[in-house]
Amino acid sequence: MKKRESVISTAATMRVLNVLKHWVSKHQQDFESDPDLKQQVIDLLDEMVVNSNLLPAEHKAAASILRTISKEPSPDKKVDLTQLLLPPASPSKDNLDTLSALDIAEQLTYLDHQIFIAIRSE
């Protein structure tokens, strides 16, 4: 009976860690905009890392998530939309007739991507 409880506990812990891993890696802005939430998650992960009742895989997963959430966002990753959408300082000699459709598509896709990642989720 004790072994079964341990297996269930391990499975539940790993599910929680998987949810945290996804949240931290895919929705970093939640933690950037709420320092209290970030600190609570860091405290939880710190407790898990030092908990002697957890398996090595659980310790490793918690430590990995802790490294990810503790990492400060690099300033070059922040996108300033006003700067991105400003017209160029000096006009280019290229126009729509001289650029390939692929180059235009790549640039439009890049701009769409930059705008999309700048949107904050509520």
pLDDT band at 74 (very low <50, low <70, confident <90, very high): low
Q: What percent of the chain has pLDDT over 90?
A: 31
Contact 81, 116 (CB under 8 A): no
CA angle 15, 20, 26 (to 5 degrees): 125
- The residue among 64, 56, 54, 77 whose CA lies nearest residue 24 is 64
pTM: 0.59
- The residue among 75, 74, 70, 7 whose CA lies nearest residue 42 is 70
pLDDT the model gives residue 36: 94
Residue-wise pLDDT tens digits, 1-35: 666 776 677 788 899 999 999 999 888 888 888 89
Most confident of 53-57, 59-63, 96-100: 59-63
